[in-house]
Amino acid sequence: MDRLPTRTNLIRRGVELMSPNCVMCQASEESFHHLFLDCSIAQRVWFLCLRWINVLNQVVFNVLKNPNPLKDVEASALLAVAVLV
């Protein structure tokens, strides 16, 4: 995960950038976690992709079946995407 050239990682490697914030939403530092789970724009893209490949209902079902989704970050994020969009 630290290999991705997110803005946070680029700054950590000494690259000078104007801002560490996400280029899509500017709401938070662009880290791996933000880019794939927290970013509102990325969540929208995930939702559209899941709907496009027609697996959205199965993903929501699997997340709801999870007995403790708060321990599973990815499951929680997918549930949030499904609920918010």
Query: Closest distance between Zn ion and the C-beta of residue 49, in Å?
Result: 16
Nearer to Zn ion, 39 or 63 (CB): 39
Contacts by 29-34 with C-beta closer than 8 Å and gap 24+? 30/6, 31/6, 32/1, 32/2, 32/4, 32/6, 33/73, 34/6
Q: List residues near Zn ion by CB under 5 A.
A: 22, 24-25, 39
Query: Closest distance between Zn ion and the C-beta of residue 56, in Å?
Result: 21
Nearer to Zn ion, 36 or 66 (CB): 36
CA 14 to chain centre: 25
Nearer to Zn ion, 22 or 37 (CB): 22
In the block, residue with structure tokens 């499904």: 82
Query: Closest distance between Zn ion and the C-beta of residue 17, in Å?
Result: 15
